[in-house]
Amino acid sequence: DVKVTQSSRYLVKRTGEKVFLECVQDMDHENMFWYRQDPGLGLRLIYFSYDVKMKEKGDIPEGYSVSREKKERFSLILESASTNQTSMYLCASSSGLAGGGSQYFGPGTRLLVL
Amino acid sequence: DAKTTQPPSMDCAEGRAANLPCNHSTISGNEYVYWYRQIHSQGPQYIIHGLKNNETNEMASLIITEDRKSSTLILPHATLRDTAVYYCFNAGNNRKLIWGLGTSLAVNP
């Protein structure tokens, strides 16, 4: 089975802190994604990567950056956390091109910024 | 970007078939139809996908109309564990999936 793991299930940070969210997948997938999910807004794509060191902006990249130094690892960075970045963050991975690939999700990280 | 239309909520009796509809009014020829679900407090889970033909796997069946403008996800014998939010979308080779708000399915005992 595909396994996507995220470094933390719950995280509490203070405004202005730099926050790192880590995601690791074990199925050699080319594509990796970061989403955030908020009530009433559904899942929104922040960034995605289709190869090592490659990244593309999603729909809401402002305030975020990403890093993909190795194929299995995709990191989301909040340079200076703000309260409006309190959310559920979900990482996903997929292989292949056909139809965007079937995405496999991690359990999510609930981030609270105080 | 491709968008879909789903009813916001549905109910189903335990043991009965749950039929979840989706309209794909803007689907193009090379786009697949995907279905996912999200159980409360978990990440979304891939269920099934198809291009033109009907598909079945161990979780569900997918019916796609001939014009591909609509699809139906069928859970043949719904259980309480199938209570979740179900998402459908069509996606092409740009790797991006446009997530709507889905259908909240309540399976009742």
- Does A96 contact B at CB distance below 8 Å? no
- Verify whether the Cβ–Cβ distance A4 to B43 is below 8 Å: yes
Q: Give me the pLDDT at residue A63, please.
A: 96
Average pLDDT over residues B13-38: 91
CA A30, CA B81: separation in Å to the nearest integer? Answer: 31
Answer whether residue A99 shows pLDDT above 60.
no
CA B72, CA B92: separation in Å to the nearest integer? Answer: 19
What's the pLDDT tens digit per position in B58-98?
Answer: 999 999 999 999 999 999 999 999 999 999 988 776 666 77
Phi and psi, residue A80, nearest 5°: -150, 95
Cβ neighbors of A84 (< 8 A, separation 6 or more) are none
Average pLDDT over residues A34-48: 91
Smallest CA–CA distance from A103 into chain B, residue: B46
Structural contact between residues A73 and B5, judged by C-beta atoms closer than 8 angstroms:
no
- Verify whether the Cβ–Cβ distance A105 to B43 is below 8 Å: yes
